[in-house]
């Protein structure tokens, strides 16, 4: 029996930008996922500082970004938990929610590859779902050979088989926050509703000049 495929896309989304949306849509179509669930993290265990925008603002921006997108959902599961969000725990939650007949694909950008060995229980994570690495502008095409000592050949092969060749979109939340703060243009980097929300709340030091 063919399993239903569900794509899970975690991140800080501080703010959610065009890059997230474009690669998520391409990935959803490539793996034929019946839906894509965006899962904002409370605090990334590997990022030194927490998100700049509060949980509610990040959630609100995600809602505005996907309100017109087919088969996109948002889950506040990680925001409701205390402390850092460990992907392996989140995947267990969604596996329970969707049942064993669902194949879960956890999407990450290629910028995460070097950090993968530091992820909490990463071996278990790779074994229990498809960790699907997407291309990211400014980063090498996914290459897992350097991780073989830590993860073992079988897991490396699984990662390599689940690469998703997404379009390159040269946008990052860090760059957007910096631009907004300096009053520089962010044209074409954000969904219109998200941009208007940022301006209306003056997030990231933005003023109406941006
Ligand atoms: P920051 O600049 O603050 O690190 P970010 O732009 O990387 O933020 P995150 O919310 O941290 O955004 O990213 C969530 C996930 O989306 C990560 O797996 C990241 O690799 C991926 N991602 C973000 N932007 C892109 C992009 N332009 N292309 C491909 N993947 C992306």
pLDDT in tens, 151-164: 999 999 999 999 99
Does residue 25 line the site of ligand 1, with CB under 6 A?
no
pLDDT of residue 207: 82
Does residue 7 line the site of ligand 1, with CB under 6 A?
no
- CA-16 nearest atom, ligand 1: 10
4-169 is a CATH 3.40.50.10880 domain:
no
The alpha carbon of 2 and the centre of ligand 1 are apart by a number of angstroms equal to 30
pTM tops 0.85: yes
- Band of pLDDT at residue 84, cut at 50, 70 and 90: confident
Which tens digits make up the pLDDT trace of 95-112? 999 999 999 999 999 999
* pLDDT exceeds cutoff 60 at 210: no
Does residue 136 line the site of ligand 1, with CB under 6 A?
yes
Nearest to 8 by CA among 28, 32, 30: 28
Domain ranges of the chain: 4-169
Residue 14: Cβ within 10 Å count: 24
């Amino acid at each position: 029996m063919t399993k239903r495929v569900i794509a899970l896309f975690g991140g800080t989304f501080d703010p959610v930008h065009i890059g997230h949306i474009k690669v998520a849509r391409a990935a959803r179509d490539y793996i034929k996922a019946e839906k894509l669930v965006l899962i904002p993290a409370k605090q990334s265990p590997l990022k030194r500082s927490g998100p700049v925008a509060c949980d509610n603002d990040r959630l609100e921006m995600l809602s505005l970004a996907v309100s017109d997108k087919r088969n996109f959902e948002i889950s506040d599961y990680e925001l409701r938990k205390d402390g850092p969000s460990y992907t392996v725990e989140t995947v267990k939650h969604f596996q329970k929610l969707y049942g064993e007949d669902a194949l879960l694909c956890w999407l990450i950008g290629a910028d995460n590859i070097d950090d993968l060995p530091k992820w909490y229980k990463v071996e278990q994570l790779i074994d229990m779902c498809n960790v699907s690495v997407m291309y990211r502008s400014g980063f090498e095409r996914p290459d897992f050979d350097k991780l073989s000592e830590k993860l073992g050949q079988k897991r490396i092969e699984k990662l390599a088989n689940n690469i998703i060749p997404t379009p390159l979109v040269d946008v990052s939340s860090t760059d957007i926050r910096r631009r907004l703060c300096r009053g520089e243009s962010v044209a074409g980097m954000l969904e219109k509703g998200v941009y208007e929300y940022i301006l209306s709340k003056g997030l990231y030091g933005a003023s109406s000049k941006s």
